[in-house]
């Protein structure tokens, strides 16, 4: 008997975690994964997400905390190598009032920044800055993540 595909949930991150075929996912770990933002504020805008559906830092285990930070570090390295940004915003929005688009599943944004690009608040206000095609972004970043995530790398 073959396993039935997981039924879709109301959460895009849980769906991305359960599906092996989501082409926005750049890296999968034991406790978390890295996925491109579907509506990027800048080229390379990605998110580090715990596999578990939880909404606060409070509920993270130590292993989850360690891997989330490890993946945030790898994301910084991959974005720096690939896009040469002049800065990177790293941020977590907890709750709708804080700007969380998906408020029930914790995620850490990493947004590459260049001086003179749209400022972050304006970007949130819906101004998009020339995002490249997401499949092109994934194709550029995925091999970099695969190399950087090797043990000992």
Task: Considering the complex, state which of residue 54 and residue 148 has its C-beta at the smaller distance from Zn ion.
Answer: 54
| 74 contacts Zn ion (rule: CB under 5 A) | no
| Class of residue 96 by CB neighbours under 10 A (exposed 0-12, middle 13-18, buried 19+) | exposed
Q: Where are the alpha helices (DSSP H) in the chain?
A: 12-18, 62-83, 120-124, 134-148
Cβ at position 49, least distance to Zn ion in Å: 8
The yes or no reply on residue 140 touching Zn ion (CB under 5 A) is: no
Among 22, 53, 55, 92, binds Zn ion (CB under 5 A): 53
Q: Taking a C-beta distance cutoff of 8 angstroms, is the pair 132, 44 a contact?
A: no
> Looking at beta carbons only, is 106 or 141 nearer to Zn ion?
106
Of the listed pieces 24-32, 47-55, 86-94, 111-119, which binds Zn ion according to CB under 5 A?
47-55
By CB under 5 A, what part of segment 89-118 binds Zn ion? 105
C-beta of 10 vs 130, nearer to Zn ion? 10
Rounded (10°) angle between helices 134-148 and 62-83? 120
- The two three-digit tokens of residue 28, written as one number: 């999968």
- Piece of 41-49, 50-58, 120-128, 130-138 that binds Zn ion (CB under 5 A): 50-58
Q: Which residues are catalytic?
A: 107
Site for Zn ion in 5-44 (CB under 5 A): 11, 13-14
Helix (H) / strand (E) element for 46: namely strand 46-50
End-to-end CA distance of the chain: 40
- Applying CB under 5 A, the residues found at the interface with Zn ion are 11, 13-14, 53, 105
């Amino acid at each position: 008997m073959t396993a039935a595909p997981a039924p879709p949930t109301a959460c895009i991150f849980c769906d991305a975690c359960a599906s092996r075929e989501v082409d926005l996912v750049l890296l999968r770990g034991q406790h978390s994964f890295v996925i491109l933002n579907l509506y990027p504020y800048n080229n390379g805008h990605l998110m580090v997400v715990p596999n578990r559906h939880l909404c606060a830092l409070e509920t993270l285990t130590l292993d989850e905390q360690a891997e989330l930070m490890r993946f945030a570090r790898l994301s910084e390295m991959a974005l720096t190598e690939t896009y040469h940004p002049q800065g990177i915003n790293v941020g977590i929005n907890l709750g709708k009032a804080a700007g969380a688009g998906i408020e029930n599943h914790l995620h850490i944004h990493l947004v590459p920044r260049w001086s003179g690009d749209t400022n972050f608040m304006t970007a949130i206000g819906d101004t998009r800055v020339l995002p490249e095609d997401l499949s092109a972004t994934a194709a550029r970043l995925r091999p970099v993540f695969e190399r950087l995530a090797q043990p000992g790398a």
